[in-house]
Structure 1
Amino acid sequence: MESQIHKIHQQLMAKEFTCTKLVQDRLDLLKSNTYNSVNSLLDKIALELATKVDAKIESGQEIGLLEGIPFGIKDVYMLQGTYTTASSDLLKNYKSAYTATAIQKLLDAGAIPLVKENCDSFGHGSSSENTIFGAVKNAINSDLVSGGSSGGSAVNVAKDYTVFSIGGDTGGSIRQPAGYNNVFGLKPTYGRISRFGIMAYASSTDCVGPIAKSIEDIRIVLNVMSGKDIKDQTTYQSEKISKETILNTDEIKTIGYFKNFIESDAIDSQIKADFLASMEKIKGKGIEVKELDFFESDTLVSTYYTLAMAETASNLSRLDGTNYGSRIEGDNLKDTYSITRSENFSEESKRRIVGGNQVLSQGFSDEIYLKGLNLRDQISDNFEKDFKEVDIILSPVTPNTPPKIGDSLNDPLAMYLSDAYTVGFSLGQLPTLTIPKGTATGLQISASKNNDALVLQFANFLNDLI
């Protein structure tokens, strides 16, 4: 199986180049990049770690598979002593006091962090335009958006600035930019990887996940980051996924797709045609394909944003300039809070905070928020029913191709609707992977909870088929 991690590991051990040169070359690419994918470089840390890897190799010691492998970090993860800005004015000078569990596991495995990556501020967006560092440009066509909110992470992988990057997915923020930039992106089962040390957006759907150029690299990084964490009570102990497991696709007999996704008036005609052509190829391999009924896209988007806005309003209430953030003094304490938050949050963040406070307020919570919770339960029940009939659910990642930079800022509703095919799987807390095959923005593979291995198995099958 193709794998940049395996290839670079072998080259380092064979002394084809030093780890220092590998890291410096990637840092140089990141410095000169024109895609606005970089918030801050971690050059001092990276070069110090590279020197240690070189010393081990020179002394004849074995190095681990991830040791010396350069990676990127979406700028919502804590890495002690580094700027963690969430691409926001409010935290533009904030330095992490500790390191996120998922990032620490990668450091313990010897991976080398190169960069904090540009993203929508606090994860609020689907285009990576809502950022103080400038819109992230698409890796394939720089006139288009990169997708979001993990746009910088997807672009850095696509352009080979990083071997892999760690994004964050709340309603599609790994899968959608992966599709827009032709790379692989995984949202694992909720709770498989610790959320400790990631800035919370919507705590009930936030997921840590890898973006890479191959299924094998996704598998390697997923295994390292997974596991129970006493600092995150939603985590659970999971089994490692072996290479042999994902090469065995014999157990996948039936797949399904949501008929209403494909028959929707909102879907691009070419994406629809390409998706249906992929279904025919799958049928040709003897796999049964079933049409499934699901909730309408508008219902999914409304449910997701109702809950996500409520949770982000709660999670970001701590950011008032007192303990965290750039404080702007007013005439009194109330004014200070008001001015600090009004001036430092992006328009999109303010839109989501105001919306969240609205749905949680007296007189609205019963009518809107509780209804959203009820719908989420119905969506989960629907998935349980579907996975009794099929092994895998396949869907387009997005109904349309990436818009031009600027269009999403002028039409927030259109931006929300670009998540129409990703948010349902987030509400169901399911493992879901974008594979850059089948349509212009890829295909999305989902399985039932804790069946991350099955997702990778089918991705491997599709990668060879399409």
Structure 2
Amino acid sequence: MSSQILKIHQQLVNKTISCTALVKEKLALLSQNTNNTVNSLLSDKALKLAAKVDEKIVNGETIGLLEGIPFGIKDVYMVQGTTTTASSNLLKNYKSAYTATAIQKLLDAGAIPLVKENCDSFGHGSSSENTIFGAVKNAINPELVGGGSSGGSAVNVAKDYTVFSIGGDTGGSIRQPAGYNNIYGLKPTYGRISRYGIMAYASSTDCVGPIAKSVEDIRIVLNAMSGKDVKDQTTYASAEIDADAIKTSEGIKTVGYFKNFIESDAISPEIKADFLSAIEKIKAKGIEVKTLDFFESNTLVSTYYTLAMAETASNLSRLDGTNYGNRIEAENLKETYAVTRSENFSEETKRRIVGGNQVLSQGFSDAIYLKGLALRDAIANNFEDDFKKVDIILSPVTPNRPPKIGDSLKDPHAMYLSDAYTVGFSLGQLPTLTVPQGTETGLQITAAKQNDELVLKFANFLKDTI
């Protein structure tokens, strides 16, 4: 699909549509939708901003490329004055006191926020069922999950309720729902976009990223949000990605894929066959394809969840109803803390906090947590060696098609294993993009750190190849 942002921008400039009419149309679709994608609508704010854009156009003033473009925000981002719930009971009435850096950059560019979007509570899940607002329903088949944790964001884009949405990816939470809904979703290089103002899940792998229907829209939004931020010391200055630079696949000579991903008993025969068919089409274009060795899926999943649970236990320790949150009074302060957290956190969140505290506890941290850190370093070193041999790594996004709503909640272990093909790239802090081609749940394109441009280049190549 061609760029929706460029199309709408031209329509606004030519006065074939008004920004107010566009925003009203999208808000109506969001309010009527039956996919459970909406936590709260930002109607008043959106309409006020739209009126300002229309006024500028009437006055003959130039508008920026993102000015007047409606977008959605996963409900883990602070937007001053709005309710930010993280789809949790604990924060169901919490109002943001400030705005996340990435969102502020979009607001500064004139983009118009429409909605805070449904997601797994605190990002804990791979299906967007772990939420007080009801399970997000897949855009293609509402009997299936929308994917997680950025399920509401992906479904809103797929259904054209938003032009683009901002998700959050810790272990695949943008890429997997994008794959489940046949759209694009990017996890940028860790540190390219500021994490300031996002509710932290696992700080060492949390990434802010765009979800959209075209590579060009991903590029535009990525450029707008990127850059160093004094409020997030993990950020770095990055060059803007030029539109012409990603139109050619020049410079991409070799593609690799992990043999054990494709030979695994866990992958469905259909996804395996489709992936290998895509590989043959790439070879036919003259690109060399190499098989690579990687860690087993169980090792990747265990390493990721060991570290992610430890970090979330630490990050969520502040949520006890004292400074913010839905406080439940008990007989004494200790009981108040216990009851507040026990009653307000979901079962999945409690499972991850307990697991995190376990791996950090005395007697376990050396045997489990430190081993996890060592494995993360080994995974990063493996990637460094791989990118000396290949320019791009291609992989399925998931080993299987989306499950039916309810199935993931019955089997948390199966839900964790569904992340087997995404978590490794998170641990490596690499730029990875889901594209809606190749298999039923798309393909995943990965490049070396800070090579986000190369990922977008190859995405354009695949669009014309598969």
Q: Provide the rounded CA distance (Å) in 2 between the counterparts of 1:347 and 1:143.
A: 23
Matches within 5 A, 1:67-86: 67-86=67-86
Alignment RMSD (CA, Å) = 0.5
| CA deviations over 1:182-233 (Å, ceiling 9, x no partner) | 0100000000000000000000000000000000000000000000000000
1:114 aligns to 2:109 (yes or no): no
**Does the residue aligned with 2:389 lie in a helix, a strand or coil?**
coil
Residue of structure 2 equivalent to 1:414: 414
Residue of structure 1 equivalent to 2:438: 438
| CA deviations over 1:377-435 (Å, ceiling 9, x no partner) | 00000000000000000000000000000000000000000100000000000000000
1:165 aligns to 2:146 (yes or no): no
Residue of structure 2 equivalent to 1:94: 94
Q: Provide the rounded CA distance (Å) in 2 between the counterparts of 1:464 and 1:92.
A: 45
Q: Provide the rounded CA distance (Å) in 2 between the counterparts of 1:38 and 1:181.
A: 17
**Does the residue aligned with 2:115 lie in a helix, a strand or coil?**
strand
Residue of structure 2 equivalent to 1:268: 268
Q: Provide the rounded CA distance (Å) in 2 between the counterparts of 1:181 and 1:95.
A: 30
Q: Provide the rounded CA distance (Å) in 1 between the counterparts of 2:330 and 2:302.
A: 36
Residue of structure 1 equivalent to 2:140: 140
Q: Provide the rounded CA distance (Å) in 2 between the counterparts of 1:451 and 1:277.
A: 26
Q: Provide the rounded CA distance (Å) in 1 between the counterparts of 2:375 and 2:352.
A: 20
* Counterpart code for 1:241: I
**Does the residue aligned with 1:308 lie in a helix, a strand or coil?**
helix
Q: Provide the rounded CA distance (Å) in 2 between the counterparts of 1:271 and 1:324.
A: 45
1:195 aligns to 2:156 (yes or no): no
Q: Provide the rounded CA distance (Å) in 2 between the counterparts of 1:396 and 1:456.
A: 17
Residue of structure 2 equivalent to 1:399: 399
Q: Provide the rounded CA distance (Å) in 2 between the counterparts of 1:320 and 1:234.
A: 27
1:361 aligns to 2:397 (yes or no): no
Q: TM-score, normalised by structure 1?
A: 1.00
**Does the residue aligned with 1:340 lie in a helix, a strand or coil?**
helix
Residue of structure 1 equivalent to 2:204: 204
Residue of structure 2 equivalent to 1:456: 456
Residue of structure 2 equivalent to 1:234: 234
* Counterpart code for 1:343: E
1:346 aligns to 2:353 (yes or no): no
**Does the residue aligned with 1:204 lie in a helix, a strand or coil?**
coil
How far residue 248 of structure 1 moved from its aligned partner, in angstroms, is 2.0
Residue of structure 1 equivalent to 2:183: 183
Matches within 5 A, 1:371-386: 371-386=371-386
* Counterpart code for 2:392: I
1:318 aligns to 2:318 (yes or no): yes
Matches within 5 A, 1:41-80: 41-80=41-80
**Does the residue aligned with 2:307 lie in a helix, a strand or coil?**
helix
Q: Provide the rounded CA distance (Å) in 1 between the counterparts of 2:142 and 2:224.
A: 33
How far residue 324 of structure 1 moved from its aligned partner, in angstroms, is 1.2
Report how many aligned residue pairs link the two structures.
466
* Counterpart code for 2:126: S
* Counterpart code for 1:150: S
Q: Provide the rounded CA distance (Å) in 1 between the counterparts of 2:139 and 2:463.
A: 21
Q: Provide the rounded CA distance (Å) in 2 between the counterparts of 1:464 and 1:77.
A: 35
Q: Provide the rounded CA distance (Å) in 1 between the counterparts of 2:464 and 2:160.
A: 22
How far residue 336 of structure 1 moved from its aligned partner, in angstroms, is 0.1
Q: Provide the rounded CA distance (Å) in 1 between the counterparts of 2:326 and 2:380.
A: 40
Residue of structure 1 equivalent to 2:35: 35
Q: Provide the rounded CA distance (Å) in 1 between the counterparts of 2:5 and 2:234.
A: 30
Q: Provide the rounded CA distance (Å) in 2 between the counterparts of 1:380 and 1:241.
A: 25
Residue of structure 1 equivalent to 2:427: 427
Residue of structure 2 equivalent to 1:370: 370
* Counterpart code for 2:265: D
| CA deviations over 1:151-195 (Å, ceiling 9, x no partner) | 000000000000000000000000000000001000000000000
| CA deviations over 1:101-130 (Å, ceiling 9, x no partner) | 000000000000000000000000000000
* Counterpart code for 2:240: K
Q: Provide the rounded CA distance (Å) in 2 between the counterparts of 1:407 and 1:51.
A: 45
How far residue 250 of structure 1 moved from its aligned partner, in angstroms, is 1.4
**Does the residue aligned with 1:25 lie in a helix, a strand or coil?**
helix
Q: Provide the rounded CA distance (Å) in 2 between the counterparts of 1:198 and 1:30.
A: 23
How far residue 92 of structure 1 moved from its aligned partner, in angstroms, is 0.1
Q: Provide the rounded CA distance (Å) in 1 between the counterparts of 2:85 and 2:419.
A: 24
Q: Provide the rounded CA distance (Å) in 2 between the counterparts of 1:60 and 1:465.
A: 42
Once superposed, which parts of structure 1, at least 4 consecutive aligned residues long, lie more than 3 Å away?
Answer: none
Matches within 5 A, 1:277-292: 277-292=277-292
Q: List runs of 5+ in structure 1 lacking aligned partners.
A: none
Q: List runs of 5+ in structure 2 lacking aligned partners.
A: none
| CA deviations over 1:72-113 (Å, ceiling 9, x no partner) | 000000000000000000000000000000000000000000
* Counterpart code for 2:39: N
* Counterpart code for 1:286: G
Q: Provide the rounded CA distance (Å) in 2 between the counterparts of 1:21 and 1:350.
A: 44
Residue of structure 2 equivalent to 1:151: 151
**Does the residue aligned with 1:388 lie in a helix, a strand or coil?**
helix
Identity of aligned residues (%): 81
Q: Provide the rounded CA distance (Å) in 2 between the counterparts of 1:389 and 1:17.
A: 50
* Counterpart code for 2:303: T
Residue of structure 2 equivalent to 1:126: 126
Residue of structure 2 equivalent to 1:15: 15
Q: Provide the rounded CA distance (Å) in 2 between the counterparts of 1:92 and 1:310.
A: 24
